Amino acid sequence: MKIRLILVQIIFFYLSVFAQTYYGFNPDTVRAQNFDMGKMWTFENPPVKYFQEEYGFSPSEQWLEKMQKSALKFGGGCTASFISEDGLIMTNHHCVRGILPSVQTDNENILRDGFYASDISKERRVPNLKVEQLLFIKDISDEIHSEMNKGKTDSEKIELREKKIEEIKTKYSQENPELVFKVISLYNGGKYSLYGYKVYDDIRLVFVPELSVAKLGGDYDNFTYPRYGLDCAFLRAYENDKPVKTNFYFKWNLDGVVEDQPVFVVGNPGSTDRINTMAQIEFERDIRYPMMVKMLKDLYKIYEELVQETNAEDYKLIARLYSIGNALKVYEGTYKGLLDPYLIARKKDFEKQFRNAVINNSGLNTKYGKIWDELVQLRNEARKTTNKMFAYTINGFYSPQYLIIASKLYGLIEDLKSGKITKDNFDNEAQKIYPLDLNHKLQKKLTLVQLKLWKANLSPDSEIMKYLIGNNDINKAAEHILSRSYFTSYENFNEFIKKPVDDILNSDDPFLYFVRNTKTELQQMIDENKTRNQREEILNQMLGEALYAVFGDAIPPDATGTLRIADGIVKGYDYNGTRAPIKTTFYGALDRYYSFDKKFPFNLPSYWENLPKEFDLSTPLNFISTNDIVGGNSGSAVLNINAEVVGLAFDGNIESLPGNFIFTTEANRTVSVSALGMIEAIRDLYKADALSKEIISGKRK
């Protein structure tokens, strides 16, 4: 044991010397910064004193109420805001991109051509879309923690918590039937809040620009700056078939922004893991992120090929490519941050300070002192099976449909064998499994992605790998698998399911073979992982309790997909040997168009070569600020001290991507559409006169 300890000390010594020599700093001297844990402040604990000290103004209760109640949670993962008393809503184009086909007529292509309802009667209802307005907040931490303390095991504690949550939600729903209640975990469960939302489910489309204008530069320019995207969309909320009348909405500002101006982003950041211990961070760095980055790169490549093969004319395919590209950049950018020794040194210093504060307090040490060591043990156990679990898991995001069909068929056979269904049921249900509109060209490419995933995460000596790949290279293995499968055509599948069930079950179909030979082991790993995750969930809550006990409200909780207010300033930064300006203009959009020879993804509609004379190309289009945002903040209003809209957040730069685990202020920037640019385009480019007047006046004429 002593020899191992000495070896570890020697390794860390040389790593320290290497970092000091190669990167120009000694990791042992790096210190955590004030806002490493971010600036995503909750409305239950707004940092009023800090705002006063930092910006010279103290927000009133009315100011905070307006900020809270004018903002909206939009759809499944974005933010929006009311911007007129008549229920006009502002959000990002990319927040509605996936739902635009649901409102267009047969002869329309809204992604390609955009949309504007010139009259209120032409506004189109978006199916299954809702927005939520946060109207009620209550701290219920004591109730939840008291109930959890009655449990003896981790699973009992979690079960008691869930029952208490349902009890609280039921009670408040009965007292306030007009609201929908959700219990929100803050500080990993160190605190709990009850949120009450007013839900609007009649949302109608008013205006969106073309996809090429909203996302000029596609994935190349995604998470970059300077940017030139008109990434905005406008909708309207209705009640009883009439536009909503609201007292809470953000007014528009036409003054623009200047450097060092304070600005506030009010939105619903999705999730961050800044509270995570080093054991958890190192697991992400060593195991999860490399897996995801490799898979997403392979997936992106095949969709990029398909887009090029269709001459970039299939807008649904382009939208899919952009979604995958966005995920890839997030994972890859975060992974690079996790490999940055300076950022890791800052995280280690924070953990050292936090842990020492716990250890040096006898009461806290007794309750929380062992958390870090236990999390090390749990993450080390997870390392043993995570890659295999990933390889064995069938996922609709990246797995070929052939594998999904095989899994469904195997499930039906199991139900038949166990007596859950009859043979007639089996025959009827099996007929429904196979999609009639299957894109076989895409599925064959996805099969290649799946094989690469298996090869990267499974031992070459495993029976699965020997059977599916053997000594073949990936391309030959894919050809071999596809040539032997019954799932590569509807006709073959239809004949296959007519065979005796035992013949189907024991067939040599490669996809069915995979399902048959992984399902039991996968379930065992899932069960083990569930037990481990339950323990880690309790430890994470204890970690959050300890964090709050040590730092209080000085550190905001991690993002939870719920409403936060993030402060910052409009500020340029140094990059690529030059200086990024605080704003870009429409001139820059034209420059990208011509510099890339008008080719996808830098193509613009043809009318950009003959723009209206009143359209001012010098108008600010995008700008940057130091606000703390992550995914989920898309569509958040950017506001000045008077709670007026100066912009619409739609992205971060590359330097912002490590924000999942650490917030930095040196070059991390929020990228927003300028309020001036939106009005200029809506009024003078798209000639949407009624909309521009409503935006500026805050009311519909």
Please say if the pLDDT value at position 19 is more than 80: no
Residue 11: predicted pLDDT? 46
Residue 221: predicted pLDDT? 97
Q: Which residue has the higher pLDDT, 8 or 508?
A: 508
- What whole-number distance in Å separates Cα of residue 69 and Cα of residue 250? 10
Q: Which residues pair with 567 in a beta bridge?
A: 264
Residue type (1 letter), 146: S
* pLDDT tier, 76 (very low <50, low <70, confident <90, very high otherwise): confident
Q: Which residue has the higher pLDDT, 244 or 1?
A: 244
- What whole-number distance in Å separates Cα of residue 451 and Cα of residue 455? 6
Per the CB < 8 A criterion, the answer to whether 240 and 599 are in contact is no
Mean pLDDT of 581-603: 98
Strands 180-186 and 191-200: antiparallel
Which 3-state string (H, E, C) describes 470-514? Answer: CCCCHHHHHHHHHHHCCCCCHHHHHHHCCCCHHHHHCCCCHHHHH
Nearest to 361 by CA among 551, 540, 586: 551
DSSP 8-state code for residue 556: P
- What whole-number distance in Å separates Cα of residue 294 and Cα of residue 303? 15
Which 3-state string (H, E, C) describes 331-379? Answer: HHHHHHHHCCHHHHHHHHHHHHHHHHHHHCCHHHHHHHCCHHHHHHHHH
Distant-in-sequence, close-in-space partners of 635: CB < 8 Å, separation ≥ 6 = 74, 78, 79, 80, 81, 90, 91, 92, 95, 267, 648, 649, 650
Residue 5: predicted pLDDT? 39
**pTM, to two decimals:** 0.92
- What whole-number distance in Å separates Cα of residue 8 and Cα of residue 277? 20
Report how far apart the first and last C-alpha atoms of the chain are (Å, whole number). 79
Mean pLDDT of 411-434: 94
Encode pLDDT of 298-326 as tens digits.
Answer: 999 999 999 999 999 999 999 999 999 99
* pLDDT tier, 701 (very low <50, low <70, confident <90, very high otherwise): confident
- What whole-number distance in Å separates Cα of residue 558 and Cα of residue 551? 14
Mean pLDDT over the full length of the chain: 95
Encode pLDDT of 115-137 as tens digits.
Answer: 999 999 999 999 999 999 999 99
Q: Which residue has the higher pLDDT, 334 or 2?
A: 334
- Domains of the chain with bracketed CATH: 48-130+201-273+558-697 (2.40.10.120), 389-524 (no CATH)
Strands 251-252 and 644-652: parallel
DSSP 8-state code for residue 14: H
